Each structure stands twice: as structure tokens, then as C-alpha cells.
Amino acid sequence: MTTYHAFTEAEAVEYARTIPNLFTPGSELTSREIGDGNLNLVFHISELSTGNSIILKQALPYAKVVGESWPLTLDRARIESEALIIQESLCPDLVPHVFVYEKDLALTVMQDLSDHVIMRKGLIEGNRYPLFAQHIARFLAHTLFYTSDLGMNQQEKKERVKQFINPELCKITEDLIFDDPYHNAETNNVPPAIQDAIEAVWQDKELHLEVAILRNSFLTHAQSLLHGDLHTGSIFITQESTKVIDPEFAYYGPMGFDIGAVFANLLLNYAAQEGWSKDAESRADYRGYLLGTIKDVWTLFQGEFRSLWSLYGEDRLSKTEGYQDWYMQQVLRDTIGYTGSKMVRRVHGLAQVADINKLEDEAAKERAQRIALRIGTALIKHNRQAQSIDELLEIAVKAVE
Amino acid sequence: MTTYHAFTEAEAVEYARTIPNLFTPGSELTSREIGDGNLNLVFHISELSTGNSIILKQALPYAKVVGESWPLTLDRARIESEALIIQESLCPDLVPHVFVYEKDLALTVMQDLSDHVIMRKGLIEGNRYPLFAQHIARFLAHTLFYTSDLGMNQQEKKERVKQFINPELCKITEDLIFDDPYHNAETNNVPPAIQDAIEAVWQDKELHLEVAILRNSFLTHAQSLLHGDLHTGSIFITQESTKVIDPEFAYYGPMGFDIGAVFANLLLNYAAQEGWSKDAESRADYRGYLLGTIKDVWTLFQGEFRSLWSLYGEDRLSKTEGYQDWYMQQVLRDTIGYTGSKMVRRVHGLAQVADINKLEDEAAKERAQRIALRIGTALIKHNRQAQSIDELLEIAVKAVE
């Protein structure tokens, strides 16, 4: 039972029955495999009589996107589970509850969030989530502060760095975000209509230098325990609730990488409004909502992070005059740089986004791709000079003028 | 035999006999405990009949400098041994050979370097080491390049980061270098004659901000496997040979921290020439030698590091135009900042240096302390603006005008 093998639906049901206090003994359980990711099986198991349900997530020893030829360590299931448990301790309402983690099976049993929708889908449908900004800002502020040298014992933090060394998943990011999109790599999926713009990206030496510097920081800057893949497909949402899922890319890296992932995916949807909005007025309106959300997330994140720092920072030197301002400026700059990096790779890299790719009008799709590329490259080039989040918003506004 | 206990000299001899192919069976061996550090027993064991000898180094479970009340993990013996073995693989002639490492006893048996002198002592005696600059530059270039993301597989490097997580020894650095010297901490040993200058350090907010930023990088920037304590007391030297010893502070940190340690200790001796030189002419002459050595070390280090990068950098993005220049500038800036940090702490912190403290003329000692402080604080304040190593040299020259 505890030797690793990929579960069938029947086995998933059988396993779910063994978890204490979850289902009525002997009752009928149903299972569906609902994974749409690339790396895991995800079983939704529910009890017909009560409606109780859980998610049983099992890591696969390879990446589905490229077949079994890309083997992946099952250790990522440990990392995901341990990261979730830390996140739950810091913001219990913003992540799914973990019932069981079974290492040998690379298996995590967690709270079912079927009453939520994937945020990417919600945004594509044009929905608005009035509590999202404050939820995700709190998630970012608490998880990034309390896992950094500012918010935890600095010696324990070093043990955490060790716990979350995550070479294989980091390698995916290093290749697909920071390398392949900037040259004619086999993994790219270049949309033919924008071949000219992609070739310009491949030629742009100023851009390449900034990407190399951003990658250097991704490789070496062990600042906080990151989620590591915080796009809108890793967020379950309703009008009232926000749940961040799937931290299998968790590792110690620069805070701006997580914040930038959120902003990049809001801006990809912003670009995609070329096709999703029915007219210019609703397009401008929804884009205003998205930019307002980014501004709110940054403002709330920064405020909350600074409050935590001032109230709970135990470290004498962190109270040094000017240090907090210097630090937050670095986080802003990283955020802007990684926002750009995470946009560019979604236009013509291996893994793209439904916001743009599901557009049926080819002209609108092409405009969306060009806008995303324009914003992404401008943010990357601007990152080391940035002074304010408003500069990010201005770049986004200018790109659709 | 393999349960940890601190060795007596007799036990050290008994242990040395068990190492194959080292001593003649049954011959007479003598042992002396020669440790002058704070953290270890060091036995020198030699065979009278042949003159063969070895060093047997055993970690103590506490720091001697403050008695048994400061317990320290024996894991640092593992770190030291494993770091030595990596360094030996990269520059075999520049570190002592390790014969045996016995984990349970926190024991390392290594090459005896009694024919060398501790470089700090050699400099105090006014000796010059014409090969030192090229030796230490090669040590720095090879150990820092080949353990970084530039010179090794980036996924294996992450496993190395994990292997060298070193919380307890890093804590000593974090406190004694970056924290205590900048406020009225109990651990400080403030020389009464320069109380005014030390109080100015405690009040200097511009300085404190730079120190907080340098410490942040020490805490988070996992760039290369550092020696971690590369002062002139960790270097054995002759006219022909240089051997770097004692890497128990090894961890993944910013390259400039190791380079800065070398420069700081040359500059502490430079300051101490107030007392060691017999007249103004010989003082200027020896100081010129020390500054010339710093310049040579940087120039040779930088040249060799760039050559390794260009010849052996396997990473596509590291070839990005402008990236190498940007990277070397960061290393220079870190080097200048850490040089300053490592000088200031030696003036009035817990652990000081013989270069200054052994001066018998109190007026000369005071001048040396003030010069060291002037150079150290100026370097710290200048670090983020630095463009060239010449700026460091100018600061040193100006401080004695």
C-alpha cells in the first residue's frame, strides 16, 4: 500500500475511506480525476449521502505536458505539503486545509474547494472579486514576512532554506521563464502572427541583460519561502473567499517573484480584454478594475508588510533608519521585473495562458499577444529604475493607447 | 572510540597510530596541543625518527573564548572537512591535504604545515610574500567561480547550498561583525582611548543603513561556497607557498565577503604600521607593499575569474552581453563593503587582531585604531557607489595623510 504507484480512481476511493472522521463507514463514495495540471493526479472524492468531499492529490513521477520523458522527483509532494502547512499556520483562511500527507505515495489529502472557481476562469468570464486584493495582499505579506529573516529566527530560517531546496522544480522555472523565451528554443510555441515581435525579443540585448540579472536573483536570493507559481490558475476564488493552492514550486527566493506572478497574470488578462470585452467602454472599465486591483494589492501588501515589520520584527538591525524603505524599494523593483518575465514567457513560451489562447478572434488574439509582450518587455527593462507601483500601471496604460 | 569526547594528547597520539601508511609501527610519536583558536583542539603529532608529522584537529562542543557557556555544534567539523575537500579539488596546492575525517569524533587529520607561518604573524614581522597575491587570487577565483551558478550545474549547486547550511557559525558572524560593533553591546571591547570615535560609530545612521544592507546580503545571497573566515590568521604562508586553512565558517554567501576578509586584514596591518614600522620611510614603503598586494589580488582575481567564466561557463545566459561586467561590479561593491565591515569589528568588537593589539606604544596603537576605523567606515559608506578598486586604495591612502 505504501510503495509508490499512481492511483486509479478506485484506489483513490479505497484510500479515502481509511482517513478517520471524514466519511460515514460503508457509505457510497464517488471519485473523478479532475487534474488539469501537468504534474499530478487530482481526485475529487465525495460522499453522496452527506455531500462531504475531499481532494486527493498525487504527484506523478514525470511531467504530463511532455510525456513520461521528463521525469520529476516525487519530493515535490513533500515540498507542497510542507509549504501548505506553513502557509496554513500563517493565513489559515487563505489555503486549503491538509488532512493527510503520505510521503511514500506522494499523496496529499486536502480540503475540497469545488465551490470555488479557478481565478483565471473567473477573470476570463469577466467576474470581479472585491475581496481578492485584500486577501492576496495578506497572503503575500504574511507568508513572505514570516518566512524571511525579518519575521523569523535567522538560524531557524536557514534550516527552512535547507528544507525547501527544490532543484527540479526551480529548473523548470529557470528554463521556461528566464531562458527559452529569449532565444529560438525548441520548447517555445511561437504564434506565427507575431513572429516579428518574438524575433525582436530574441535580438534585444538590453532585455537579455535584465533577464540575466533577474534570473541571477532567482538563483541566489534566498529571501522568503515563496509559493513559486502564484498565477491565477493557482488561486481558487469566490466573491467571499480566496484560496491559494499548489505550492509545489515552493523554495527560498526573492519576494518579488510571487508578487510579480499575481501581477503578470492580471496583466495577461488585461491584454486579453482585446477579445473578451464586448466594446471599448466595457474593455476600459474591466481594465480599470484589473489595474485598480494591482494597485490595491501592492498598497495593501506594502502596508501590511511594513506593519508586521514594525510590530513583530524582532531583529535589532531591521529597525535601522532607512532600511525598511530601501528594502521595500528592492521588493518593488523585483516585483516589476518578475511581472515582466512572467508575462513574456506566457506569450510564446512552452506553457501559455487561456486568457489569450482561448480568444477565437485571431486579430484580437494577436493584439493581445503584442500588448502582453509590450508590457512585459517594458517592465523588465524598467525594473531596476522603478520608484513606484504607478510606473507599472503607466506602462500598462500606455501599451493599450 | 567513536563516541565524541575531547581528546587528550595521549589519545591523539593513539589515534594517529591507527592511520595507515603514515607512521612507522611502534615508533615514538610526540604530540603538542597548539590550538590558538577559540573553537578547536589542534594536536601536532610527529615521529621523531623520520620527522613525519600531521595535524589532528578536533572541534570542541563550545567556544573557548567565552567558556563552555557558548555551545557550538560539532557539525562544523563536517563542514570544515567537506569544504576543505572541495577546495582541495579546485586548488590542491593552496589548502592542506585531508587524510581522514571522522564524523563522530568531529575530527580531521590533515597535512602538517609547521614549515609555514601564520600570515598575520609574518606581516607583523614585516615580511613580504611575493607569491601571495597570485596564490590567493587563484584560490578566490577558483573556489568562488566553481561553486557558483556560473561554474557548476545549477541544480547540483542547490544541493551544495543544502550541504553547507551553517546556522551556528553564521550566527557568530552576524552578531560579531554586523551587529555588536554598531551599538553599545556587552561583547565589545572598546579601547578607552578611542571611546569618542566608537561613540561616533554608534551614532552614525548612514553607516548603520549600509551595514544593515550588507548584513542582508550576508543572510540571503547564496552566491558561492565561501571560506567564511578568510583573515590572515587563516592563511599559512612561506615565500613559496600559501595554504588556506580552517574553513569551518563555510556557507553559501556573497563572494565579496571572502575577498573583503583578505583585504580587511591587509588593511588592519596597514593601519598598524603606525607602530611596527621603524620610521616614516619604511612605513610608507611597507604600506605601499600592502596596497600593491590588494591591487594585485583584485586584478588577478578579476582576470582569472573572468577567464574561467569565458572559458568554462556552461550557462547560456551567462554569456549575455554586459552581464559579466555587471556581475563583477557587484562583486567589487560587496568586496569594498565587507572589507570595511571586517575592519571595524576588529577595532572594538569581541575578537580583535594582534596587528593592532600587540602594539606596545599606546599612542601608536591609538593612531592605528583610528586609521582602521576611518578606513573601515569610509569603505562601508562608499560600497554601493564603487566603480573601481582604486577607490578603496585612495580611501586607505587618505586615511594616513
Contacts of B347 (CB under 8 A, 6+ apart): B181, B191, B194, B198, B356, B369, B372, B373, B376
Residues of A in contact with B159 (CB under 8 A): 165, 167
pLDDT in tens, A336-371: 999 999 999 999 999 999 999 999 999 999 999 999
Cell numbers that stand for B133 in this block = 597575491
* C-alpha closest to that of B5 among B15, A70, B281, A334: B15
Chain A residues with at least one Cβ partner in B under 8 Å: 149, 154-156, 158-159, 161-162, 165-168, 170-171, 174, 178-179, 182-183, 205, 208-209, 211-213, 215-216, 219-223, 316-318, 320-323, 326-327
Cell numbers that stand for B93 in this block = 596546492
Pairing, β A29-33 against β B107-111: unpaired
Taking the C-alpha atoms of residue A52 and residue A49, their distance in angstroms, rounded to an integer, is: 8
Is 60 exceeded by the pLDDT of residue B69? no
Greatest mean pLDDT among B14-18, B21-25, B27-31, B132-136: B132-136
pLDDT in tens, B299-357: 999 999 999 999 999 789 999 999 999 999 999 999 999 999 999 999 999 999 999 99
Is 70 exceeded by the pLDDT of residue B398? yes
Least-confidence region, from A203-207, A299-303, B35-39, B361-365: B35-39
Is 70 exceeded by the pLDDT of residue B66? no
| A165, A178, A183 member nearest B158 (Cβ) | A165
Taking CA atoms, what residue in B is nearest to A202? B320
CATH of domain B9-111: 3.30.200.20
- Using CB atoms within 10 Å of the CB of residue B107, give its burial: 0 to 12 exposed, 13 to 18 middle, 19+ buried: buried
Is 90 exceeded by the pLDDT of residue B92? yes
Is 70 exceeded by the pLDDT of residue A135? yes
| B209, B317, B327 member nearest A320 (Cβ) | B209
Cα angle at B128 between B282 and B401, to 5 degrees? Answer: 40
pLDDT band at A22 (very low <50, low <70, confident <90, very high): confident
| A170, A183, A317 member nearest B212 (Cβ) | A317
Is 80 exceeded by the pLDDT of residue A72? no
Is 70 exceeded by the pLDDT of residue A66? no
* ipTM at complex level: 0.94
First to last CA, chain A: 60
- Looking at residue B60, its pLDDT comes to 87
| B158, B219, B223 member nearest A167 (Cβ) | B158
- Looking at residue B154, its pLDDT comes to 96
Taking the C-alpha atoms of residue A217 and residue A336, their distance in angstroms, rounded to an integer, is: 13
Mean pLDDT of chain B: 95
- Looking at residue A68, its pLDDT comes to 54
- Looking at residue B2, its pLDDT comes to 64
Contact B213 A170 (CB under 8 A): no
Percent residues over pLDDT 90 in chain B: 88
Contact A208 B155 (CB under 8 A): no
Contact B170 A158 (CB under 8 A): yes
DSSP string, A136-156: HHHHHHHHHHHTSTTTS-HHH
Residues of A in contact with B158 (CB under 8 A): 165-167, 170
pLDDT in tens, B138-187: 999 999 999 999 999 999 999 999 999 999 999 999 999 999 999 999 99
- Looking at residue B240, its pLDDT comes to 97
- Looking at residue A34, its pLDDT comes to 87
For chain A, domain boundaries = 9-111, 117-399
Q: Residue B131 in 3-state DSSP?
A: coil
CA dihedral A271, A275, A277, A280 (to 10 degrees): 80
Going by the annotation, the residues of the binding site of A are 40, 57, 229, 246-248, 345
pLDDT in tens, B173-222: 999 999 999 999 999 999 999 999 999 999 999 999 999 999 999 999 99
pLDDT in tens, A193-209: 999 999 999 999 999 99
pLDDT in tens, A93-134: 999 999 999 989 999 999 999 999 999 999 999 999 999 999
CA dihedral B215, B216, B217, B218 (to 10 degrees): 50
Mean pLDDT of chain A: 95
Q: Give the C-alpha distances (Å, rounded to integers) separating A315 from A50, A69, A192, A362, B199.
A: 50, 47, 53, 55, 22
- Looking at residue A2, its pLDDT comes to 64
Residues of B in contact with A149 (CB under 8 A): 216, 219-220
Contact B213 A161 (CB under 8 A): no
Q: Which of A219, A251, A318 to mutate to test the interface with B (most CBs of B within 10 A)?
A: A219
| B171, B205, B322 member nearest A321 (Cβ) | B205
Contact B320 A208 (CB under 8 A): yes
Is 70 exceeded by the pLDDT of residue B1? no
Q: Which of A75, A78, A144, A158 to mutate to test the interface with B (most CBs of B within 10 A)?
A: A158
- Average pLDDT (B62-90) is 82
A-B CB pairs within 8 A amount to 108
- Average pLDDT (A52-76) is 79
- Using CB atoms within 10 Å of the CB of residue A111, give its burial: 0 to 12 exposed, 13 to 18 middle, 19+ buried: middle
Contacts of B176 (CB under 8 A, 6+ apart): B187, B345, B349, B350, B351
| B168, B212, B321 member nearest A323 (Cβ) | B212
Taking CA atoms, what residue in A is nearest to B157? A167
Q: Is A251 in contact with A165 (CB distance < 8 Å)?
A: yes
pLDDT in tens, B97-111: 999 999 899 999 999
Cell numbers that stand for A120 in this block = 483565471
Is 90 exceeded by the pLDDT of residue B37? no
Q: Which of B220, B319, B345 to mutate to test the interface with A (most CBs of A within 10 A)?
A: B220
- Looking at residue A39, its pLDDT comes to 77
- A117-399: CATH, from 3.90.1200.10, 3.40.50.300, 3.30.200.20, 3.40.50.1820: 3.90.1200.10
- Looking at residue A20, its pLDDT comes to 86
Is 70 exceeded by the pLDDT of residue B67? no
pLDDT in tens, B269-303: 999 999 999 999 999 999 999 999 999 999 999 99
Q: Is B248 annotated as a binding residue?
A: yes
| B165, B167, B215 member nearest A317 (Cβ) | B215
Q: Residue B163 corresponds to which amino acid?
A: Q
Q: Which of B76, B158, B202, B330 to mutate to test the interface with A (most CBs of A within 10 A)?
A: B158
- Looking at residue A263, its pLDDT comes to 98
Max CA separation in chain B (angstroms): 65
A316/chain B closest Cα distance in angstroms: 8
pLDDT band at A21 (very low <50, low <70, confident <90, very high): confident
pLDDT band at A92 (very low <50, low <70, confident <90, very high): very high
Contact A317 B219 (CB under 8 A): no
Helix (H) or strand (E) run with residue B44 in it:
strand B40-47
